[in-house]
Amino acid sequence: MPTHSVPSSVRPMQRRLRLFRSISNFHAKIAGLVAKAKARAYKMEGPGLLYSVACVAEADVVEYRRSARDAAAKKRLCDAVNLKAGHTKNMRRRQSQYKRCDARGIQRHIWLCNYPVQRRYCVERLTHLNVLDGGGVRPIVQCSGCGVHHHEFYTCPSIRGLSGLHQTITGVLASTGERTDGRVFFPPPSGAEDIYNIILSS
Ligand SMILES: [Zn+2]
């Protein structure tokens, strides 16, 4: 039917119908993408490691080493550290990926501990949800090394340090039927043993 023959009162209805159709198509598209992502995650789910890593600014390391290195200085350092829980099935590859982040010598990543798990996607997701629920604060800033906005680092005080993170992880492992006694510590990084020990006791 030619457009000029449509009564003017019907045109808004046609517009609404077109809008409705485009919104429906949009929702169908999103639902399709979500279903695909879920299927992909399900397919990729499997055993691996849940790890914790700290990101420390070199400036804070320098400041700590220049200080009296007393309890107050240790607390200042810990307050400035960001901690992350992540998952991988290839630890060596994941560690080498982080080297890009440390490339400019502005910050360094210190590997803390890892837990063997059967469903690494599930336990990592639940860990983040629990950390956020407990008040975890994520300072999302552009990484000075690789340029990416890393979204999974939490300020150390907001998650009550590595012990708080460990407590959350252990709770998730217990509730999902994973073993809770598998924690392994990474060796202290050469030249940063002091910083490693301070974060480990946080
Ligand atoms: Zn980075």
Please give the average per-residue pLDDT across 28-55, as a whole number: 81
* Amino acid 39: pLDDT: 66
Task: Please state, in angstroms and rounded to a whole number, the distance separating the CA atoms of residues 169 and 123.
Answer: 8
Distance, CA 143 to ligand 1 centroid (Å)? Answer: 5
Q: How far is the CA of 62 from the centre of ligand 1 (A)?
A: 21
**Confidence label for 29 from pLDDT (cuts 50, 70 and 90):** confident
Query: For residue 174, what pLDDT is reported?
Result: 97
- What local confidence, expressed as pLDDT, does residue 52 receive? 97
Instruction: Find all residues with CB under 8 Å of 113, minimum gap 6, and list them.
Output: 51, 52, 162, 166, 183, 184, 185, 186
pLDDT of residue 1: 47
**C-alpha 101 – ligand 1 centre gap (Å):** 4
Burial of 180 (0-12, 13-18, 19+ CB in 10 A): middle
Distance 142 CA to ligand 1 centre (A): 8
CA 32 – ligand 1 centroid, Å? 31
- Mean pLDDT, range 165-189, rounded to an integer: 97
Q: How does pLDDT run across 46-99, given as a tens digit for each residue?
A: 999 999 999 999 999 999 999 999 999 999 999 999 999 999 999 999 999 999
**Ligand 1 centre from 144 Cα, in Å?**
7
State residue 37's pLDDT score.
67
Distance 4 CA to ligand 1 centre (A): 59
pLDDT of residue 179: 97
**What integer pLDDT is reported at residue 41 of this predicted model?**
64
Distance 97 CA to ligand 1 centre (A): 9
Residue ranges of domains in the chain: 7-42, 45-200
CA angle 66, 70, 72 (to 5 degrees): 100
Write the DSSP symbol of residue 50.
E
Whole-number Å distance, alpha carbon 131 to ligand 1 midpoint, is: 21
Q: What is the pLDDT of residues 111-158, one digit of tens each?
A: 999 999 999 999 999 999 999 999 999 998 888 888 888 889 999 999
Residue 116 makes CB contacts below 8 A (sequence gap 6+) with 47, 48, 49, 179, 182, 184
Q: Dihedral sign for Cα 105, 106, 112, 118, please.
A: negative
Q: How far is the CA of 150 from the centre of ligand 1 (A)?
A: 6
Ligand 1 centroid–CA 45 distance in Å is: 24
Query: What pLDDT, on the 0 to 100 scale, is given for residue 38?
Result: 66
- Ligand 1 mean position to 146 CA, how many Å? 4
pLDDT band for 42, please (50, 70, 90 cuts): low
